[in-house]
Amino acid sequence: MSKAVPAAATVPADYSLDVAIEAAARAIAAAPRLTALTGAGMSAESGINTFRDPEVGVWRNWLALALFGTPNGWRWTPGWAWSNYRRFHDPIFAAEPNDGHRALAAIGEAMQSSGAGTPTTTASATATSGYPLRVVTQNVDYLHQCGGVPDAFVHEVHGSVFRHRCIAKGHPMEIPQDAPLPASAPKCPQCGSRARPDAVLFTESLPGATWESAERAMRDLGPKDCCLVIGTSGSVYPAASLPGMCGRGVVKIEINADESGYTGGMDIFVKGPSAQCLPRILARVLELKAEE
Ligand code: OAD
């Protein structure tokens, strides 16, 4: 027999999926604002491999991590890095948003149409007025925007594979996005060095303005707001530190196929694939909103 939904927000991992989904939906339906932190698991059902899965993860091969995942790898072996990058990029290029991306965007719309996110008197709330959802994503695949979250509210803290710059000087480079990447890396028209993605590699800093927006999206959350952590192992800093920045009274919810480094610190843990769990949460949020 499944346990009843607890009155307090705490729904640990040993509760049934139904109970966790109900508790998550109730917390989100009552929340004025929601900030989601997403990782590779969010896009798994779009056919994009995660990073640390032992079978298919992008980093299962240490050589790939050293040479394609670092700026020195791109400088020393640009051709090798580019051919690995094409294998990483092309499934992203072909991917469509999954039901989880679409459900998260629809949750934002449902919150907005019921008046959540309306400006209050605080300066920070006014600055982020109108739309109640923020998505801070470590993913470089642009699928949240394709799924319906307005671009202005998606903070891509690890960059994007839909932008490129040159290895030597960082000059922005236009690479057509209507076809798969060319077999060899294009040369920068200004300095002749090769192209690389405008994505954050190991040892590099995060883009400053985007990081500040991401921090603000967490720090601005207050009592009854929700922080939703989806499909990330929490192993890469500083992004992994973001859920720890929200204030007291924020309901922290995790959706993950497995327990992660975050699970113990969450109020509600929804164990399952995000492409299945988020539509179920959305359906229940819509019912609860209709009852208001
Ligand atoms: P990881 O590969 O480290 O973790 C993926 C997480 O998704 C794991 O916790 C899985 O249990 C979970 N997961 C897998 N399939 C899922 C599904 N269908 N639904 C829900 N959860 C699922 O990926 P990230 O945490 O995103 O950085 O990795 C963080 C950063 O490490 C990446 O942004 C990347 C990488 O190095 C850069 O490239 C800078």
pLDDT attached to residue 119: 46
Q: For a substitution probing ligand 1, which of 21, 256, 259, 260 has the most ligand atoms within 8 Å of its CB?
A: 256
Residue 4 has pLDDT above 70, yes or no: no
Q: How far is the CA of 192 from the centre of ligand 1 (A)?
A: 34
For residues 209-237, give the mean pLDDT. 97
What per-residue confidence (pLDDT) applies to 29? 97
7-16, 94-103, 123-132, 144-153: the lowest-pLDDT one: 123-132
Catalytic positions:
158
Distance CA 187, CA 82 (A): 12
Computed over every residue of the chain, the mean pLDDT equals: 90
At 8 the pLDDT is: 44
Distance 139 CA to ligand 1 centre (A): 9
124 pLDDT more than 60: no
The winner for highest mean pLDDT among 26-40, 105-119, 171-185 is 26-40
The more confidently predicted of residues 34 and 126 is 34
Q: Which atom of ligand 1 is nearest to the CA of 57?
A: 2
Q: What is the mean pLDDT of residues 67-75?
A: 92
| Residues 6 or more apart whose Cβ sits within 8 Å of residue 24 | 11, 253, 255, 268, 270, 281
Mean pLDDT of the region 37-42: 98
**Ligand 1, atom 18: closest residue by C-alpha:** 273
Residue 262: predicted pLDDT: 94
Report pLDDT for 130.
80
Pocket residues: Cβ below 6 A from ligand 1:
39-41, 44-45, 50-52, 57, 138, 158, 200, 231-233, 235-236, 255-258, 260, 273-274
Q: Per-residue pLDDT for 129 more than 90?
A: no
Residue range 59-72: mean pLDDT, rounded: 87
Burial class (CB in 10 A: 0-12, 13-18, 19+), 35: buried
User: Does residue 252 surpass a pLDDT of 50?
Assistant: yes
Average pLDDT over residues 117-138: 66
Q: How far is the CA of 47 from the centre of ligand 1 (A)?
A: 13
Atom of ligand 1 nearest to the CA of 159: 39
